[in-house]
Structure 1
Amino acid sequence: MNFLEQIVSRAKSEIKTIVLPESTDIRTIKAAAMIQEQGIANVILVGNRGEIEKLAGDLDISKAQIVDPADFDKFDEYVNTLYELRKSKGMTVEQAKKLLSENVLYFGIMMVKMGAADGMVAGAINSTGNTLRPALQILKTAPGAKLVSAFFIMVVPDCEYGEKGVFVYGDSGLVENPNAEELSEIAIASSKSFKSLVQAEPVVAMLSYSTYGSAKSELTEKVVEATRLAKQKAPELQLDGELQADAAIVASVGQSKAPGSSVAGKANVLIFPDLNCGNISYKLTQRLAKADAYGPIIQGLARPVNDLSRGCSAEDIVGVVAITCVQAQNM
């Protein structure tokens, strides 16, 4: 089985409920039909039943639960809970009511917060900021997590590198310019995500334009310090840096540039120094290598909430839902 088939199989082994709030988008409706047909998850669609069913047309979404905030029997309970959570930030009851009436992303997150759903997937028609803001405000970080960050799972066809062509790229979706401390946390979290989702041992490369001091600047020193901190926090982890990308994944180059490194030439978790590098790299890998890119997958939240690229397909949504289910199982 390939990576996605394994994830789908694991999702089916313990069915979770995932809320898809963007029900005005046909890709979301198609994904809901596919998810239910394949038995991957229970799906909640948020919105007006008549409008959703009209958009669905001949698509079978009969097994999906449709929840309309306008006539939801627990709406007042949700409003009061949101108010209590956010009143210290100045939110009033009326503002909470308006937010949950008009913003399906906040309503979807409240369904996760209140236990009606195990996770949420959105972002097909919303920016990453809009998708994740309610999650950060309402769900907050998981116990022990110091930072919420994002990664992509990259599945590269016919690839001899990584874990049979499978990599985690982090952070390639959320944290714009992490400092050394934050970069070390991203590395450790990404290694755990790799092990959890790919079910293989993570080998983590802290990437830079320099290998082992071949160049020195403020940019490289950040990666050097992040490597030191990550090794200090997680000494059991196979992690090394700073490494150039070719030294990280190509054995012959790794042996030449970083002799003695247990990571060089073997890396399957690639940690980028900033969001520019991570985001550009995942998109180039996706397009030039015809790789499948799943994400951005969010790590560090109390419950799984995942973002979608606005260029996603219905099939992409299905894949991210399956990954979200497995994250929920692991929690």
Structure 2
Amino acid sequence: MTLSRRDFALGAAASAGLMTGGAGFLTSAFAQSGWVPTRDVELVIPFAAGGGSDLLARIVGKIIVEEKLIPQPLVLNNRPGGGGAVGIGYVAASRRKDPNTIILINGTTQITPILNPAARTLTEVQPIMNFMLDDFLLFVSGDSKYKTAQELIDDIKAKPTKTFNFSTGGTTDIMAITVFSRALGKDINPVNFNSGGESMTALLGGHVDGTIGNPLEFMGQLASGKVRALGVFRDTRFSAMPDVPTLKEIGLDVPNFQMWRGIAVPKDVDPAAQLYWQGVMEKVSASPTMKKYIADNVATEAPIVGAEFVAFLAAQEKLYRGLLAKPA
């Protein structure tokens, strides 16, 4: 599905501003790169509409267009499937050297090839910038009989393995369920969907017993009472959710890990274009709109750029592989 600027409520005036921006885009950082977009820019989202990745991509797109950060129109293109492999495969096959293409990447695009070595995702792109880090929460539906994490954990432990089904919106959620299962000593069945939105629908429809996901995918449902947060996968409680305990508080030794979320360009894009997009994304990260989005969704600002982002991802892969390693 291809979505234009109009799909995220930007009017013709904004479009005209983009098309005629001219010298307004030639900041010193961009001028140093020696390159600017020459046609419509395509933001590839290798995940389905409605999930956390899609939501972030639309905020990035909104900022780029409304703040006139590029001199060409921006088009959003959702290409879900395979834990990011379908969308990134599309980029690798047809956009490999195209500097007018940018790609939404996250922890799922890194974990997918760990779980499925035949999949090629993050190695097919050049990371540009990370924006944020998301922690994980344990959720049940608002009408669930489980009012606390302890009640749910006790029931899981008391019943045969694989009795409970949890929905997932990607491979990072699968990883969260894996580390949760190991801490419990009981396997939970992951029921896999293409996005956090589909995972949420399964939870609200009563098709699964629970889910583990990032706050940004659940904030509206939390506020309305349609879902209930039972436990936090980190060492401290969220200030925005002071009544939700950490799982460690109730004696469950669940390792800490987070979902990173950022932007890449195709693998073989010229360094000048990489520098240009780095400058654009630094402006996106510094935007008040982005800062509000991160704060509203109980996430953590984590602007990491260029070579530092590449080094960060190497450390993350080591962490993920360690967490997923089968116990001896």
In the superposition, the TM-score normalised over structure 2's length comes to: 0.26
